Amino acid sequence: MENVKITSLDSFARGITKVKDKICFVSHALPLETCEIKITNEKKNYIEAEATKIIEESKYRIMPLCPYYESCGGCHIMHYDRQSELIFKEEKVNDLIHKFGKLDSVRIKDIIGGQDYFYRNKLTLHGNKNNIGLYKEKTNKLIRVKECLLCNEKINEIVDRLNKYFEKTSDNIDEIVIRITSLNETMLVIKGNVNESIKEAFSDINSIYINNNLVLGKESITEVINELFFEIYPNSFFQVNYEMMKIMYNKVIDYYKDHKDLNVLDLYCGTGTIGMLISKYCKSVVGVEVNSDAITSANRCMKRNNISNIKFHLGKVEDKIDMFSNIDSIVVDPPRAGLDKHTIDTILKLNPTSIIYISCDPATLARDLGVLKENYNIKEIQPIDMFPNTYHVENVCILERR
């Protein structure tokens, strides 16, 4: 044990200090705090530690509302007051964009924040025999929970019911995913040795799958955005924060309202949400997605919404991108790893007039912008707080050809 002074936060919301002449990352510590720490991991170039006692406390420290905060690990920054959390995220985007993208002249817009609790429309629970809960950070140790304060209240009602139900069974649960839409439609996706009698106890749920088999209700649940309907299947990707998702998508829609009649390529299109939302302003939209459930959903939704100027292709973006030509604009919403080299090279060959880059990782966004900036001006980077109480931050970036 030793006492240290925290100087700042890293991009994972860990306190930064020096121990043994090495940089030291301290979980749940805040800038300007003096902490007693316990070293948990020592590497050649850095040390990881946890704060065992806060000796001098930051005036921005608050008491986390969640009783599982210290043990669960799903949230990272619930001990920081809300305004400080937003400032941290805005500064994080600035630092990473300038450090890894070498984009010193690019101005980052003020972050858009929203509701900090009860915003998630999806929760994944893990199982151990008939117990369900969340995993302790970086372990498979199960933390039994009554509720998650980030999740929609209806999801938490279902968590409570599931806990009570499984206490009376000998089922062996591997995983349960709970989803809800703004139309209040619910889905349970259960994996493990679970008796189908669960459908009798949860007959009000719109869709229940057990081990990939539909045992109750309909195949998908329905979400609505800007008067368009979208179907969500068990493995479909859909943004977890409905209100922030609408803000983010409207940023993209606004761009295409002002730049009409373009041929748009929508990469990593998921269930085709963005493509359909912008379709009425575009000449054509082509979507590419690797998840077959998402493509099934996209094609059904296209028909349901009477949209005729979209085509969807199933496959990896890096395998499909060479198929296309005469593209005026590209939308990309890649996973955290960002864009691979082949995809970036092909985008540059396609030479679209604009690129809308949606990113859930500002570090890989910065890396990719560092390559694209040779051909494109970065007109705008808009941070959006899609994941309050965590260190994650979403960004919408608009690039226009030089």
Q: In this structure, how many other beta carbons lie within 10 angstroms of the beta carbon of residue 303?
A: 9
CA–CA separation, 324 and 346 (whole Å): 10
Catalytic residue (one of 75, 282, 360, 397): 360
Q: What does the alpha-carbon distance between residue 362 and residue 336 come to, in Å, rounded to a whole number? A: 9
Q: Is 360 a catalytic residue?
A: yes
C-alpha dihedral sign at 50, 56, 61, 63? positive
Count of CA atoms in the C-beta half-sphere (13 A) of 341: 0
| 282 vs 299: CA distance, rounded Å | 18
Rounded to a whole number of angstroms, the distance between the first and last alpha carbons of the chain is 55
Measure the CA–CA gap between 312 and 298, rounded to whole angstroms: 7
The Cα–Cα gap between 377 and 65 comes to 43
Here the tokens at position 21 are: 């002449």
Contact 347, 325 (CB under 8 A): no
Buried b (16+ CB within 10 A) or exposed e, 42-81: eeeeebebbbeebeeebebbeebebebbeebbbbbbbbbe
- The 10 Å Cβ neighbour count of residue 140 is 8
Give the E-state strand segments of 226-308 in sequence order: 228-232, 263-267, 284-289
Q: How far apart are CA 201 and CA 353, in angstroms?
A: 55
Cα Rg for the chain, rounded, in angstroms? 23
CB contact burial 236-263 (16+ within 10 A = b; e otherwise): bbbbbbbebbbbbbebbbebbeebeebb
Do 187 and 232 meet the contact criterion of CB atoms below 8 Å apart? yes
Residues annotated catalytic, as ranges: 360
